[in-house]
Amino acid sequence: MKILLLGYMGSGKSVVAKQLSKALQYSFVDLDTAISKDQNLTIAQLFETKGEIYFRSKERLVLNSLLEGSDNSVIALGGGTVCYGDLMQHLKQNQGVITLYLDATIDTLSERLISQVHTRPLISHITDKKVLTDFIRKPLFERNFYYHQAQHKISVDQKPVQQIVREIVALLF
Ligand code: S3P
């Protein structure tokens, strides 16, 4: 079984996936980290040197190869992974995959992201929280179309990671 966590940047996919994998004794994979290893470049370097389209094609290839593995794993996707091409359709048809959306309000996201802009290529040019909030409003609205096709949704605002993990375990098992 592969449990895929999706949601916007800053929704907590990686940290929740890591703790969830421990709780379930599944392996943990962060898709961005797997792409970085595959390409021998950081995500920022990949965007800078090869561009976003190249990144998106590698993102899909690396995810496909992870999904081919037979182990139980929790995979933290990137914020845009399910929003390109027909990936969400494929995931929904894959019996071995559970998709779970970590739903955070725009205030929660901008609060968390303002201190992390330098590590995130899509928002690295922003320094002001109000500008950041306005900047993510449109992509979040557009991506919600894909995020809301996940099989499960969990609201993550103001919840500690362990509570989110407990809620996911109760929801899935
Ligand atoms: C992206 C989110 C990032 C990373 C890349 C693109 C996006 O992942 O994949 O910078 O399009 O939202 P995180 O959501 O893990 O930060």
- 88-119 pLDDT, tens digit per residue, is 999 999 999 999 999 999 999 999 999 999 88
Question: Which residue reads 């993990």 in tokens?
Answer: 165
Does the beta carbon of 32 lie inside 6 Å of ligand 1? yes
d(Cα 173, Cα 161) in Å, to the nearest integer?
Answer: 18
- Domains of the chain, by residue range, sit at 2-104+145-168
Please give the CATH topology (third level) of the domain spanning 2-104+145-168. Answer: Rossmann fold (3.40.50)
The alpha-helical segments, DSSP class H, found in 40-128 are 43-50, 52-68, 87-93, 106-113
**Residue in 14, 6, 12, 30 with CA at minimum distance from that of residue 149:** 6
Q: What is the pLDDT of residues 112-133, one digit of tens each?
A: 999 999 889 999 999 999 999 9
Cα angle for residues 144, 83, 145 (degrees, 5° grid):
25
Residue nearest to atom 15 of ligand 1 (CA): 78
Supply the pTM of this predicted model.
0.97
Is any atom of ligand 1 closer than 6 Å to the C-beta of 13?
A: yes
Regarding the beta carbon of 78 and ligand 1, being less than 6 Å apart is answered yes
> pLDDT of 147-158, one tens digit each?
999 999 999 999
In this structure, how many other beta carbons lie within 10 angstroms of the beta carbon of residue 102?
A: 25
Residue 93 is predicted with a pLDDT of 96
Q: What is the reported pLDDT for 125?
A: 93
The tokens for 159 are 């919840």
Q: Which two tokens stand for residue 143?
A: 């991506």
